[in-house]
Amino acid sequence: MTWSPYYRGDGVPRDVTLHRPPPWREFPRRPLATVFQPPPGLTDAVNAALSLRRPLLITGAPGSGKSTVVDSVAAELKLGPALRWHITSRSTLLESLYRYDVLGRIHARQLGQPAHTDDIAPFIQLGPLGTALLPADRPRALLIDEIDKSDLDLPSDLLDALERGEFEIPELARHEHPVVAVREWGGSATHPIERGMVRCTEFPVIVMTSNGERDFPAPFLRRCIRYTMPLPTRDMLHRVVRAHLDLAVPGSGPLADLVDDFLQRLRDGENLAIDQLLNAVFMLSGDQPPQDGQREHLVAMLLRELSRA
């Protein structure tokens, strides 16, 4: 990258050509699984979860790579694209299993489409967890992201579905046809569902992430394999920079000092994310990086602690 003042704030219109963005901001997004660097102990935790058919609960700071784990596992084991369920305080178990578009059916009826009004199947779609629980020869990979942001009851509500590996869609259990094709999550593909029951034949590879903002009930925790992302080491940060930017951090110099300062701030308890370091390295390691006071200003801006506004 070459540092360039695209915007000058002088109000003068000008033609500019933006240089290439950092690799993680190129669109369409490239898979991050190929550059993911698992910290010590993570591969053992993943393999334990795979062997025991248990969800893997990963706790760590934002930006520590937790949500990339599922992509790495899915890519390496050839499980296909990972399904994703991003949790908010309003998330419910039902929405993760299936969704019934009642308003869409009413709208179709108002438009005079009789072919759709008597059949609710076109208005039902499986959610990410419901799709992951479909019977298949190979398991699907599912990310349940930031589960610590959920309602207090959601982790307990998940237990039954994860223990039994099945659920019922009552609207289809009463359907006139015993087998109904229902759309899967994230696409137009459909899957036949018999008598409204979805039963998995291969338990999905489930990775749940938590920023550590709350505790979980013991019955939920004992059904998970738990892993906490450790503080990175200097060698690990060097490997991350090399993997993402194809750039070797020298043993000394401004770039090495930047990495060491970042690591020391983490050890001092500051709330920083590795992607902040990658942003700073990308900005400051080009052919014509910013100099002197401008460089110091950019470092302070890009590596600002996350707990501050």
Low-confidence ranges of the chain (pLDDT < 70): 1-2, 112-118, 309
The pLDDT value given to residue 3: 77
- The SS3 call for residue 151 is coil
Question: Where does residue 126 rank: exposed (0-12), middle (13-18), buried (19+ CB within 10 A)?
Answer: buried
d(CA 243, CA 235): 12
The predicted-structure confidence for 88-131, as pLDDT tens digits, reads as follows 999 999 999 999 988 877 777 777 665 544 678 889 999 999 99
Residue with tokens 């460089």: 295
Give me the pLDDT at residue 229, please. 96
> Vertex 54, ends 50 and 55: CA angle to 5°?
100
Task: Single out the residue of 225, 59, 89, 60 nearest to residue 153, CA to CA.
Answer: 89
Structural domain spans, the chain: 33-228, 231-302
- The SS3 assignment for 244 reads helix
Phi first, then psi, for residue 140 (nearest 5°) are -95, 155
d(CA 257, CA 267): 15
The CATH H-level (homologous superfamily) assignment of domain 33-228 is P-loop containing nucleotide triphosphate hydrolases (3.40.50.300)
- pLDDT (0 to 100) of residue 288: 80
User: What's phi and psi for 156, nearest 5 deg?
Assistant: -70, -35
At how many degrees (to 10) do helices 254-267 and 274-284 cross? 160
E-only strand ranges, the chain: 56-59, 83-86, 98-100, 124-126, 141-145, 166-168, 179-183, 190-194, 197-199, 205-210, 225-228
Residue written as tokens 């990410």? 128
| Amino acid at residue number 188 | S
The count of other CB atoms within 10 Å of the CB of residue 110 is: 9
Check if the beta carbon of residue 221 is closer than 8 Å to that of residue 59. no
| CB neighbour class for 278 (10 Å; exposed up to 12, middle 13-18, buried from 19) | buried
Contact 173, 236 (CB under 8 A): no
DSSP state of 60: -
Is 210 in contact with 148 (CB distance < 8 Å)? yes
